[in-house]
Amino acid sequence: MKRMDWVVDFISRKGFRKGWTVFIVAFFLFFVVLPTLYVVTYAFTDWSAIETAVLSNPETLSTIVDSVVISFEIAAIVTVIDFLAGLPIAWILVRKEFRGKEFLDTLIDMPLAVPTAALGFSAAVFWVMNPDPVPFSLSVISSPFLLIILLHIVFSYPYMVRSLAAILEEIDDTYEVAGRTLGASRLTAARTITLPLFRAGLATGVILCFSRSMSETGGTMIALSTMANLGIGEAANFFTGSTLIGEWRSLVETDPTYAPSLAFVSILLIALALILLIILKLVIMKFHLPLRKVWPMQEKMLSRGIFPKMKDGGALLFLALIVLIPSFFIFTYVLFSDPASLDMGALSYALGYSFLVAGVVTVIDIALGIPFALHITKHRDRASSNVLDVLVNVPLIVPTAALGYSLFLFWGSIGTGGASFVVLILAHVAFTYPLVVRNVAGAVEEIDPSFEETARTLGARPIQSFHRVLYPLIKSSILAGAIMAFTRSLGETGATQAVLGRNALTAPVYIVSLVKADELYQAGLACIILIIVSYIFMLLLRYLTKKRKEAI
Amino acid sequence: MPSITLRGIKKSYGKVVAADGLELEVENGEYLCLLGPTGAGKTTALRIIAGLTKPDSGQVLLDVRDVTHLEPEERNAVLLSQRYSLFPTMTVAENILFGPSIRKVPELDSRKTLVELLDLVRLTKRADSYPRELSGGMQQRNALARALATNPDVLLLDEPLRALDARLRIDLRHELRSLAKALGLTVIHVTHDQEEAMVMADRIAVIRNGRIVQIGTPREVFDDPVSPFVANFVGQSNFFVGNILCSRDGRMTTVEDDKGHVVFARSSEIPVDSKVVVAIKVGNTRVVKKSDAFLTGAVERALFEGRVVHLDVNAGDLGRYSVKLPASRRDQVAVGDEVGLNWEIPKASVFPYPEGGLEEELRVD
């Protein structure tokens, strides 16, 4: 007890607090932002190499441009579909009361619990046209472009629904009620009053979906390999920007001439992602949707009878058919395939390694992300905080494959060569850290600062007022951030490969290698084990935090 | 001995000046109301005393201790915020025990404090409820008990009655004041409600644009305002603008406007021929026979407010005058009647005409 007091005293000192803040900000700048953008320096130090290898080589250049264009097209289409299909579900979740609502609520998040590597495999066997289809699979898609769109919808959809629902929750429904008592039909009121208030949520949702689709590597690679293995050769030569980085990153180990091209794609993707972030923010926040016009008769008709039911039914069907069934189709696949033996030793080693990485990463994210989130939210009046706030988003929108390559160059250049575990941890921290910061900062901003201020005037030190007053209020957001960071680290393929090349030992990378070796049954089984283990882990985490809450 | 002293406190947020050289002394055990319109810098002053806002310059002393650079938790000055900020994850009892547990008060002592305080604020039966289950008045009492549990030197109340409904607000005025007096606390109570300040305060400090413009007992501030602003903000006044005709033998001042209307006010030091403003409290303005009147006008509007009738009298070029008539006289005056107005001469104050004009002087935003 005495020692505790001494610790509280020590960390409450002004000098310590100042030093701690500097440390937190420095960590963010040097371990998150700088490594993420480091690859850009390649353009300055080695521009001539890029010129000879890429710009004066039309074939390479067109491969790069094609893949980047494909990435953008897919991301744009996916985002639009997510919005159209996600809005009715978000509406149902927030504005309607019905039995089984909680169940629907959990269903939305299910795809997030499945590592993208498993998702890619699962979606591919469900959709891809196959001469010898797995029972109950649709087996209709023969275009890699369509397959990747369907796959990306699966894991970006929950982000869109969550962002829209979060904002909808904030919007007082009395506006809409007022509109309706003034004679507007349900549809007219929703469209002209509530939707325009949506912009902030829409911006978050669009950015999350777009960047998620742009940056996804592992699942996309697995889906394409699976497709190629199922007999559609076209898939083997189909690249998005991120999978191109993944491919070249593995080639560069044996053939260093790929390095300039690799740097060039990475820089291109990072630059485009940043530009896009800025444009989207400006457009969505400034642009007024020309939605003022009303069509009272038509809209009144559409607000009644069968139409709203069709809208809700359609949205639920979409959720089931496009999002949920493909996510878990892998179970069916394994059930109906011929068993083959799986190297359990290698798999459990990979799983253990992945969990260790994800665990360490999550602990670092929480320990250093919470103070950072507090710092940026408590000094909103300072320009520097707002800059940091924008910078936090950078690793979220930078494609993870490009980020991974950047990290590889950064840490490689400082010469940490052998310590692959440490480099891998740092890489995963870079892209998961913002998830914790965003969640915690969002929650803290919602909470009236007078709670903590009152605690301070009642005699609590800053650390005590955080622990006793603020922490209980933001606990669920911390947990949400931790789960996101953990599952994101667990499922990440692109960045891992880009950092460690073929030597990576994590579970998703192991699954990719199984798919590439055409050992589909083993890959499916490994995916299922990964899903089950991560699901159990998440349940355990929820259970533990709930238990602790009751104990307090 | 002064318990709270502010010396030359300045604070600005960009171009907005929230404290412009604040000077204030609050005596030990005094109940001081800091009264001012919205945006006058009341809350900033309170936050600076509590240590939640750092002043740009100036000193804060609690007793004789310079606390300007101390953290909030080192000051023993408890702030009760407008919405009470009861910790939503804690019960009534846990909220009250927050301060003692931070200070590591022994279990037995803090139990005793809890029982006493729950009894004092009449929440014994609700000890295990959560704040959201309490009514507004109970929440207020819970927050008060939580503040008292830390045994503070100074209690800082930021509009403590604002969130309550009208009837309860009036009942609690007395309760809050007598509790503070019984416990011998030094209190600064911020409010924009002049009636609340009049009823509760030992002294009122009127604040405007980050400065204390007048400080004194409620009577002094009401009867001897230092400016047309104070005259109007504390108790609402009627105004007459003119030049001093004579200021005879120190008993009264005669003021005439350019249309030839003449009114009388208390004596003043202002020289003859100066442009001045005469302020008469609405409550001191009387409806009288025309032969006794200083001014005349037609009743434009009569509002029956229950205990009194509020009359708006249109005095032509002089503008509109407000008068309160006792309810018993409500049948004597009707809309459209010509009436005379006067007042007891010593109750009308005279001020030099404000530089920026009268309207600017009276603005409350």
Q: pLDDT above 90 covers what percent of chain A?
A: 10
From chain B, the residues in CB contact with A453 under 8 A are: 50, 52, 72, 79, 81, 85
pLDDT (0 to 100) of residue A404: 83
What is the pLDDT confidence band of residue A159, given thresholds at 50, 70 and 90? confident
Q: For residues A128 and A144, what is the distance between their CA atoms, to the nearest angstrom?
A: 9
Q: Please check whether residue A417 is in contact with residue A459, taking contact to mean a CB–CB distance below 8 angstroms.
A: no
Q: For the structural domain made of B236-352, what CATH number should be given?
A: 2.40.50.100
What is the pLDDT confidence band of residue A1, given thresholds at 50, 70 and 90? low
- Describe the crossing of helices A241-252 and A199-215 by its angle, rounded to 10 degrees: 30
- Judge: A457–B78 Cβ closer than 8 Å, yes or no: yes
What is the pLDDT confidence band of residue B1, given thresholds at 50, 70 and 90? low
Is pLDDT of B281 > 90?
yes
Is pLDDT of A316 > 60?
yes
Is pLDDT of A2 > 70?
no
Q: Please check whether residue B235 is in contact with residue B283, taking contact to mean a CB–CB distance below 8 angstroms.
A: yes
- Judge: B81–A456 Cβ closer than 8 Å, yes or no: no
Q: For residues A422 and A426, what is the distance between their CA atoms, to the nearest angstrom?
A: 6
- Judge: A458–B99 Cβ closer than 8 Å, yes or no: yes
Element at B169 (helix H, strand E): helix B166-182
What is the pLDDT confidence band of residue B289, given thresholds at 50, 70 and 90? confident
pLDDT (0 to 100) of residue A116: 81
- Describe the crossing of helices A520-551 and A116-127 by its angle, rounded to 10 degrees: 130
Domain A344-552 classified CATH 1.10.3720.10? Answer: yes
From chain B, the residues in CB contact with A457 under 8 A are: 50-52, 72-73, 75, 77-79, 156
Minimum mean pLDDT among A74-83, A415-424, A449-458, B219-228: which range?
A415-424
How do residues A84-141 score in pLDDT, each as one tens digit? 898 888 888 888 888 877 778 777 877 776 778 788 888 888 888 877 777 777 777 8
Note whether B144 contacts A: Cβ–Cβ < 8 A: no
Nearest CA of chain B to the CA of A304: how many Å? 38
From chain A, the residues in CB contact with B96 under 8 A are: none
B204 DSSP β-pair partners: B33, B216
pLDDT (0 to 100) of residue A551: 43
What is the pLDDT confidence band of residue A331, given thresholds at 50, 70 and 90? confident
How do residues A490-539 score in pLDDT, each as one tens digit? 888 778 877 876 667 788 888 888 887 888 888 888 888 888 877 787 77
What is the pLDDT confidence band of residue A284, given thresholds at 50, 70 and 90? low
Using DSSP's 3-state secondary structure scheme, residue A439 falls into helix
pLDDT (0 to 100) of residue A6: 78
Using DSSP's 3-state secondary structure scheme, residue B154 falls into strand
Window A:246-265, CB contacts with B under 8 Å: none
Q: Whose CA is closest to A54, among A45, A42, A64, A43?
A: A64
Q: For residues A376 and B350, what is the distance between their CA atoms, to the nearest angstrom?
A: 53
**What average pLDDT is seen over chain B?**
89
Domain limits of chain B? 2-223, 236-352
Full-model pTM: 0.78
Element at A170 (helix H, strand E): helix A144-170
ipTM for the predicted complex comes to 0.82
How do residues A395-419 score in pLDDT, each as one tens digit? 887 878 888 888 888 877 655 555 6
Minimum mean pLDDT among A1-10, A85-94, A503-512, B115-124: which range?
A1-10
Q: Please check whether residue B333 is in contact with residue B300, taking contact to mean a CB–CB distance below 8 angstroms.
A: no
Residues of each domain in chain A carrying CATH 1.10.3720.10: 57-330, 344-552
Q: For residues A168 and B218, what is the distance between their CA atoms, to the nearest angstrom?
A: 49
pLDDT (0 to 100) of residue A332: 86
For B271, phi then psi, to 5°, come to -65, 155
From chain A, the residues in CB contact with B147 under 8 A are: 458
Q: Please check whether residue A525 is in contact with residue A125, taking contact to mean a CB–CB distance below 8 angstroms.
A: no
pLDDT (0 to 100) of residue A200: 64
Sign for the pseudo-dihedral over CA of A57, A60, A66, A71: negative
Rg of chain B in Å (alpha carbons): 24
From chain A, the residues in CB contact with B72 under 8 A are: 453, 456-457
- Judge: B78–A458 Cβ closer than 8 Å, yes or no: yes
What is the pLDDT confidence band of residue A324, given thresholds at 50, 70 and 90? confident
pLDDT (0 to 100) of residue A546: 61
Using DSSP's 3-state secondary structure scheme, residue B114 falls into helix
Give the mean model confidence (pLDDT) for residues A380-393. 80
Nearest CA of chain B to the CA of A457: how many Å? 5
- Judge: A456–B73 Cβ closer than 8 Å, yes or no: yes
Nearest CA of chain A to the CA of B50: how many Å? 7
Q: Using the 8-state DSSP alphabet, how is residue B232 labeled?
A: H
Window A:449-478, CB contacts with B under 8 Å: 450-451, 453-462, 464, 468-469, 472-473
Q: Using the 8-state DSSP alphabet, how is residue A128 labeled?
A: B
Q: Please check whether residue A405 is in contact with residue A266, taking contact to mean a CB–CB distance below 8 angstroms.
A: yes
How do residues B180-219 score in pLDDT, each as one tens digit? 998 889 999 999 999 999 999 999 999 999 999 999 999 9
Which tokens hold the place of A129? 């046209």
Q: For residues B297 and A340, what is the distance between their CA atoms, to the nearest angstrom?
A: 106
Higher pLDDT, B90 or A340: B90
- Describe the crossing of helices A344-378 and A14-27 by its angle, rounded to 10 degrees: 130
CATH class, domain B2-223, is alpha beta
**What average pLDDT is seen over chain A?**
82
Contacts of A57 (CB under 8 A, 6+ apart): none
Q: CA-nearest residue of chain A to B73? A: A459
Give the mean model confidence (pLDDT) for residues B326-337. 85
- Judge: B102–A457 Cβ closer than 8 Å, yes or no: no
pLDDT (0 to 100) of residue A417: 53
What is the pLDDT confidence band of residue A482, given thresholds at 50, 70 and 90? confident
What is the pLDDT confidence band of residue B130, given thresholds at 50, 70 and 90? very high
Which tokens hold the place of A306? 């069968």
pLDDT (0 to 100) of residue A552: 39
Give the mean model confidence (pLDDT) for residues B17-43. 91
Superfamily of domain covering A57-330: MetI-like (1.10.3720.10)
- Judge: B87–A457 Cβ closer than 8 Å, yes or no: no
Q: pLDDT above 70 covers what percent of chain A?
A: 92
Please list, residue by residue across B83-116, b when 16 or more beta carbons sit within 10 angstroms of its beta carbon and e when fewer do.
Answer: bbbbbebbbbbbbbbbbbbbeebeeeebeebbee
Name, of A10-24, A156-170, B231-245, the range with top average pLDDT.
B231-245
Is pLDDT of A334 > 50?
yes
Q: Which amino acid is at A286?
A: K
Q: Please check whether residue B253 is in contact with residue B267, taking contact to mean a CB–CB distance below 8 angstroms.
A: yes
Higher pLDDT, A179 or B155: B155
